[in-house]
Amino acid sequence: MDSKPNPLRILFFPHLAHGHMIPTVDMARLFARQGVKATILSTQLNVPFFSKTIERDRELGFEIDVLVIKFPSMEAGLPEGIEVISSITSQEMGFKFFKAVSLLQQPLQRILEDCRPDCLVADGMFPWGYGCCKEGWGTKAVPGIPDKITMTRRQQPTELRESGANVEITNTTEKPWVTRRQQPTELRESGANVEITFPRTGTTYVEHYRKTLGRKSWHIGPLSLCNNNTEDKSQRGNANDASIDRVKFLRWLDSKKHNSVLYICFGSVSWISAAQLNEIAKGIEESGLDFLWVLRKTNKDEDEWLPKGFDERMKGKGWIIRGWAPQVLILDHEAIGGFMTHCGWNSTLEGITAGVPMVTWPLSNEQFINEKFITDILRVGVGVGAQEWSRWMEGKKLLVTKENVTKAITEVMLGEEANNIRNRVSALKWMAKRAVEECGSSHSDLMALLDGLGLNSI
C-alpha cells in the first residue's frame, strides 16, 4: 500500500477489558486499511492479546502500531499482573483496578502532548478522555467507547461543530442493530420504558437514535467482519491463549452435522455460580444435543459442580473449553446451530453476523435490553428465562432451572420454530455482510467519517 506523506493520525485508547479491546482493535485496523495511521494505546500485559494481528497488518503495509502506557498497579495497591478486567477475582480488587484506570488520565495527557495525534478515540469508560484533549492540546480531540464512540466538536466536520452536536461511531450497521444501552437500574429508577420501535414504525433505529439523542453518528460495524481469514479469526482477542488444540477441535466440529452443535459462552468477564453451572450441565445433557461449552478459568472446582460422570457420558458429544475460545471462528463453523449467549453487545452482533440462532441468557449491564432486541424485535433467539439482573460480580438469588435450559435449547435447535428463526437470522447475516462491502451502508458511513476528519484533504 502506498503510504501518504501525512496520513491522518488517530490514537485509539480502549478500556482494559476484552469486550472493549476487541472491537477497538478491529476499528483501528479498519481505519488503517483506509490509509489512516492508527496507533492503539494499551498497557504492557494487554499488548500480547492483539500484537500478532497488528504485526500481520503491518506486513501487509498498513500503518498501524501499538503504544504502551504504564499501568499504575502499585499506586492503586494492586498486585502486579492485573491489567485486564477478566483477571479480577474479588470486588476489592475491582475497586483498586478502577482506581488504577482513573490514574491513567495524566499519563494520557502527556502522551497526547508528545504524539499530537489528529484525533483520539477514547473509551467511554474514560470519561476524562475529553478533558485530556481539551486541556492538553487544544483543538484536536475525540472521546468515545469502542462500540459507541463520542468525538469532540473540534474534530467534527464544520457543520456539525456549528450545530453543537456530539458525534458517535457505533459498532452497528445502518439497519437493525442499534439499541439504547442504558443501565437497567437507571431505567428502573427513572421509571422510563425502554421502547424499541425498530423498522416497522417506519424509522430505522439509526434515525431514532439520531433524533432522540440529537447526535450525529456513524454506524460502521459489525466490526468483527474485518477478520476475514482463519488466522485473524482464531487469534482475535487473545492471540496467545493455548486453552485448546485448535486443529483437534476444528476436526471435531468438522465431524459434526450442519447446525447440530450448540455453542455456549457467556463472554469474557461474567461470573456464574457453581449451582447454576450444574443446572446448565444437566440441562444440556437432558437435551441430548452436541455442544461446545466455554468456561472461564475462574470457574474452577469442577468436581463440586459438574454432575457425576458428566465428562465420561459426554465423550464425543461435547467439548468443554477451559479458557479462551476463538468465538468468531467457532460461530462461523457450519456445525454450529445455536449460540447460548449472555447477550453482550459484541457477542450479540457476532451471533447475528454468523447467522446463528441464539439462546439468550442476560446477566447484567445492558444485556437484558439486548435480549429483548434479539428475541422480541429481530426474533432470532429464544430466552432461557433469566429473570434477575445483578451487578457484575454480584451473586443471583434465582437459578435458571435445568428444565428451562433444555426447553430453550431444544426450541432453538430442533423445535418447530427453529427453521423460521434460522431463516430470519440468515437474512440478517447477509444484510450485515452487504453493509460492510463497498457501497454498503457501513462502508459509506466509514468513508463519510474519514472525509469529515479530513483524510482525503491531506
Element holding 410 (H helix, E strand): helix 402-413
Catalytic residue among 15, 20, 342, 443: 20
Scanning 14-22, 105-113, 209-217, 449-457 for contacts with ligand UDP by CB under 6 A, the matching segment is: 14-22
Residue 68 grid cell: 504502551
Judged by CB under 6 A, the chain residues 135 through 194 that form the site for ligand UDP are none
Told to judge if 254 belongs to the known catalytic residues of this protein, a careful annotator would answer no
SS3 assignment, position 353: helix
Question: Is residue 268 within the footprint of ligand UDP (CB under 6 A)?
Answer: yes
Site for ligand UDP in 378-397 (CB under 6 A): none
Q: With contacts defined by CB under 6 A, how many residues of the chain interact with ligand UDP?
A: 19
Q: Binding of ligand UDP at residue 14 (CB under 6 A)?
A: no
Asked if 39 contacts 65 with a C-beta cutoff of 8 angstroms, the reply is yes
Among 32, 289, 325, 358, binds ligand UDP (CB under 6 A): 325
Supply 256's cell numbers. 459434526
Among 13, 14, 15, 19, the residue binding ligand UDP under the rule CB under 6 A is 19
Which residue's CB is nearer to ligand UDP, number 218 or number 339? 339
Q: Which stretch binds ligand UDP (CB under 6 A): 185-193, 272-280, 319-327, 443-451?
A: 319-327
Residues ≥6 apart with Cβ < 8 Å to 407: none
Which range binds ligand UDP by CB under 6 A, 192-200, 244-252, 260-268, 377-385? Answer: 260-268
By C-beta, is 8 or 325 nearer to ligand UDP? 325
Q: CB-wise, 369 or 450, nearer to ligand UDP?
A: 369
Instruction: Let me know if 2 is a catalytic residue.
Output: no
432 binds ligand UDP (CB under 6 A): no
Cβ 34 vs Cβ 57: under 8 Å: no
**How is residue 210 written as a grid cell?**
439520531
From 18-26, 55-63, 178-186, 426-434, give the range in contact with ligand UDP by CB under 6 A: 18-26
What cell was used for 25? Answer: 482493535
338 sits in which H/E element? strand 336-341
Cα angle for residues 345, 346, 349 (degrees, 5° grid): 85
Interaction between residue 267 and ligand UDP (CB under 6 A): yes
123, 232, 290, 445: which is the annotated catalytic residue?
Answer: 123
- Cα distance between residue 85 and residue 94, in whole Å: 8
Strand order across the 119-122 sheet: 64-68, 37-42, 9-13, 119-122
CB of residue 84 vs ligand UDP: minimum separation in angstroms? 11
Contact 30, 435 (CB under 8 A): no
Least distance to ligand UDP from the beta carbon of 389, Å? 14
Of 342 and 443, which CB lies nearer to ligand UDP in the complex structure?
Answer: 342
d(CA 240, CA 51): 10
Cβ–Cβ < 8 Å for 269, 299: no
Burial 403-413 (b: 16+ CB within 10 A, else e): ebbbbbbbbbb
In the set 14, 144, 237, 318, which binds ligand UDP (CB under 6 A)? 237
| Piece in contact with ligand UDP (CB under 6 A), picked from 173-181, 182-190, 344-352, 409-417 | 344-352
Radius of gyration of the chain (CA): 22
Q: Out of 346, 375, 406, 442, which residue is the one contacting ligand UDP (CB under 6 A)?
A: 346
- Nearer to ligand UDP by Cβ, of 17 and 120: the residue is 17
DSSP string computed for 8-68: -EEEEE--SSHHHHHHHHHHHHHHHHTT-EEEEEE-TTTHHHHHHHHHHHHHTT--EEEEE
Q: Which residues are catalytic?
A: 20, 123
Q: Rule CB under 6 A: which residues touch ligand UDP?
A: 18-19, 22, 237, 265, 267-270, 294, 324-325, 327-328, 344-347, 350
